[in-house]
Amino acid sequence: MRTAPASITVFGTSAAVLVVETIAGRLMAPYVGISLETFTGIIGTMLAGIAVGAGVGGWLADRWDPRRMVGPAIVAGGALCWLSLPVISALGPLVGTGPVAIVTLTVASFFLPVAVLSAVSPMVAALRLDRLDHTGSVVGGLSAAGTFGALVGTFLTGFVLVAALPSRVVVLLVGAVLVVVGIAASWRLARSRPDVPTVAAVLVCLAVGQGAGTPCEQETAYYCVRVESDASDPSVRDLYLDRLRHASVDLDDPTALDIRYVRLLADVVDAQPPGPLDTLHVGGGGFTLPRYVQAERPGSTDRVVEIDGELVDIAEDELGLELGDGISVEVGDGRLVIDEQPTDSVDLVVGDAFGSQAVPWHLTTVEVVEEIDRALRPGGVYAMNVLDGGGSHFARAQIATLDAVFDHVAMVEPERGIPGSGTTNLVLVASDAPLAPLDVEAGDGRVVDGAELDAFVDGADRLTDDHAPVDQLLRR
C-alpha cells in the first residue's frame, strides 16, 4: 500500500472516530444531561474503544491478509455508526442518570464503531511494513496522520458540523462516507465486491439508523429543545432543554408564573425598592423573569446574557419574547459579560444559567462573585438559582462562596426542607446591604439565614477558579 493512500485511510478513520466522540455528548444529552461526568464517561469509553480496536486490529493483521480486512472494517465501522442512533433512542430512556448510566449508554452506543474503526490503523501499518529499515518512518507517519485526522475531526465537528447540521444527520453522513470509502478500499486492495448478505446488512443498518427517533423538536448547538403547549390553555407553553423543563410561559400574562423557582426569583424582584430596575440576567431560557420585570416594573431595563443564540430565536418565535422596550439580549458567555459590566451599573443580577442540572462551574466561583459585587450598585442584590439535594454539598459550598464576598446571604429552600434524595431548586440571595424580607408564597418555601444558615453551611469550602468541582459536589 502506497504512502499517500495509507495516510489518507488512517487520517479518515481517525477523523471519523473523533467526530463520533464529539457528537456523542449531544446525542446523549436528552437522556443523561451534559456535565463534566458526561464528557468524562464519553472520553474514557472512547479511549477504551480505541485501545481495544488497535490491539485487536494488530492481532488480526498478523494472522490474516490485511488487504482483505481494511475495506470491510471501514464498512462495518460506518454501519455501526448508523446503529448507534437506534441504540441511543431505545436505551437512553431506560438507563437513568449518573456515572454508571453515562458509561453504560456510551459503551452500548459507541464502543463497537470506535473499536472497529480504530482497528484499521494497525492493519494499514502491516501493509506498509514490507521491510525493517523504514519501520520508524512508517509507524511515525501513520501515527501523525491519525493524530492530524483526529484534530480535524474534533475541530470540524465542534466549530462547524454541530452548528450546521442536526447531530443525527452528522452521524448518518459519517456512516455513509465510511461505507463508500470501505467499498472502494475493498476493491482497490483485494479486488473484492460486497456480496449480497453484506449489502443487505448495510442497508438494514442504514434503514434502522434513519428510522431512529429523537426527543428533540429542535436542536441547537447547545441543547435539545422542545416546546409544548398546555392542552387546557393554548397560551401556556413549556420549554424543555435536554431532559428538564426550564420554563413555563403564559403568552397572555407575563405575571403568571407556574414554576416555583421563578416565583421565588420574582419574590426577590418584588422585595426591591419601588420603581424601575436595571437588571442583568445570566441565562435566558424561556425569558420568563425579564418579561415579569417589565410587566411589574415599567421602565426597567433587563439585559439578558444567553449563550445559545438559536434559543433566543426560539423564544421570539414560540415563547412570546419581544426584544426592545426594555429587554435586550447579548449572545455570549455569562462570565465574559459579567467581567465587562461597568462598575455600579445594575440593581439586580439574576443567575439562572444551567448545563443540565449544574450551574456552569465558572459562574460559581469567588472570582466571578467578586465581579458581580463590583457591577452591583450599593444595596444591589444577587439572586441565584441552583439545584441540589441530599447532603446539599454544592449549595453549601455556593453559600460559603457568596458569604466570602457579600455581607448578607440568605437561602430559600422548600417549605418541607431539602429532600434527602433527588434534587430541588434553591434560591440564594446576597447583598452588601441587609436583605429586604421576602414575601414568599405559602408552599413555595421558607427563608433560611443567620445562625441557621451558618449551621447549614457547616464550614463548607468556598469555590474558586482553581477548584470548583460542581458536578462532583452535586453527585455526592
Residue 1 has a pLDDT of 65
Residue 132 has a pLDDT of 61
- The answer to whether the beta carbons of residues 342 and 396 sit under 8 Å apart is no
For 158-169, what is the mean pLDDT?
88
Over the Cα atoms of the chain, what is R_g? Answer: 26
**Is residue 332 pLDDT above 90, yes or no?**
yes
Distances (CA, A) of 159 to 23, 221, 310: 12, 10, 15
Residue 422 has a pLDDT of 76
Least confident of 38-42, 127-131, 150-154, 321-325: 127-131
Averaged pLDDT score across all residues of the chain: 91
**Is residue 34 pLDDT above 80, yes or no?**
no
Residue 133 has a pLDDT of 64
Distance CA 371, CA 344 (A): 11
Closest by Cα among 232, 250, 175, 185 to 205: 175
Residue 188 has a pLDDT of 86
pTM above 0.75, yes or no: yes
Least confident of 141-145, 283-287, 354-358: 354-358
For 294-312, what is the mean pLDDT?
95
pLDDT tens readout for residues 224-236: 899 999 888 889 9
Share of the chain above pLDDT 90, in %: 68
Residue type, 277: L
pLDDT tens readout for residues 419-449: 877 789 999 999 999 999 999 987 899 999 9
Closest by Cα among 192, 210, 43 to 110: 43
For 72-94, what is the mean pLDDT?
93
Residue 190 has a pLDDT of 79
How many other C-beta atoms lie within 10 A of the C-beta of residue 443? 10
- The answer to whether the beta carbons of residues 77 and 53 sit under 8 Å apart is no
pLDDT tens readout for residues 177-206: 999 999 999 888 878 777 767 777 778 877
Give the contacts of 109 (CB within 8 A, at least 6 positions apart). 24, 27, 28, 84, 87, 88, 91
**Is residue 56 pLDDT above 90, yes or no?**
yes
How many other C-beta atoms lie within 10 A of the C-beta of residue 269? 20
Reported confidence tier of residue 131, pLDDT bands at 50, 70, 90: low
What residue has cell string 393554548?
234
For 217-243, what is the mean pLDDT?
87
Closest by Cα among 128, 154, 158, 152 to 140: 128
- Which helix H or strand E contains 243, and what residues bound it? none
Instruction: List phi, psi (to 5°) of 363.
Output: -105, 10
**Is residue 358 pLDDT above 90, yes or no?**
no
For 207-231, what is the mean pLDDT?
81
Distance CA 235, CA 428 (A): 31
**Is residue 243 pLDDT above 80, yes or no?**
no
Least confident of 93-97, 161-165, 203-207, 352-356: 203-207
* DSSP reduced 3-state for 350: strand
Distance CA 417, CA 421 (A): 12
What domains sit in the chain, N to C, each tagged with a CATH number? 3-215 (1.20.1250), 224-475 (3.40.50.150)
**Is residue 130 pLDDT above 80, yes or no?**
no
- The answer to whether the beta carbons of residues 220 and 30 sit under 8 Å apart is no
CA–chain centroid gap for 68, Å, is 40
